[in-house]
Amino acid sequence: MKVCASIATLAVFIVAASQTSDADTSEAATQSAALTWLRLADAGDYAQSWATGAEYFRKSIAQSQWVSSVSHVRGSLGALKSRRVSSARFARSLPGAPDGEYVVIQFARSFENKAAATETVTPMKDPDGRWRVSGYYIR
């Protein structure tokens, strides 16, 4: 009986550890996707940021429109001075977007021409299972 109880306890720990690992992996994957995408925007490679965005994002805005909009906004802010994650939350539904798996990540940012800004990047899980950016906003 003690052996069965020990095996059951071990099984619970293994399942709990694997769930924690999956959550950590998802959080790491979403932040990695966001930061990789942001490096493109920081470098002014807006066409590539569109091309590597989520399928939903690419269907929502034409590449030329995205490049024009983001270059206008980002250009006026100047060079990036600092960035740090201030929050991240998982969501299955967001206003105006189809249901899916999302992570809304907010960064505290400082630019050359704007000392304090909040940058919101929203990776979503694409149909192929990869996390890609589906939304971007600075205020």
Q: What pLDDT sits at residue 27? A: 78
- The whole-number pLDDT of residue 18 equals 32
- In tens, the pLDDT along 42-52 reads 999 999 999 99
Q: Which residues contact 51 (CB under 8 A, 6 or more apart)?
A: 58, 63
Closest of 128, 138, 105 to residue 30, by C-alpha: 105
What is residue 46's predicted lDDT score, i.e. its pLDDT?
96
Q: Which amino acid is at 51?
A: A
Instruction: Write the burial class of residue 56 (CB in 10 Å: 0-12 exposed, 13-18 middle, 19+ buried).
Output: middle
Domains of the chain: 2-138 (3.10.450.100)
Q: Which residue has the higher pLDDT, 50 or 12?
A: 50
- Residue 21 above 50 pLDDT? no
CA distances 126 to 8, 14, 91, 123, 130, Å, are 36, 29, 14, 9, 5
What is the C-alpha to C-alpha distance for residues 10 and 111, in angstroms, rounded to an integer? 50
Round the average pLDDT of the chain to a whole number and report it. Answer: 83
Under a CB-based contact definition with an 8 Å cutoff, are residues 102 and 122 in contact?
A: yes
User: pLDDT tens digit string along 67-113?
Assistant: 999 999 898 899 889 999 999 999 999 999 999 999 999 999 999 99
Of 77, 7, 88, nearest to 41 by C-alpha is 77
**Angstrom distance (rounded) from CA 90 to CA 20:** 15
| pLDDT at 26 (0 to 100) | 77
- pLDDT band, residue 57 (cuts 50/70/90): very high
Backbone angles phi, psi at 9, to 5 degrees: -65, -45
pLDDT at residue 114 tops 80: yes
- Whether the per-residue pLDDT at 55 is higher than 70: the answer is yes
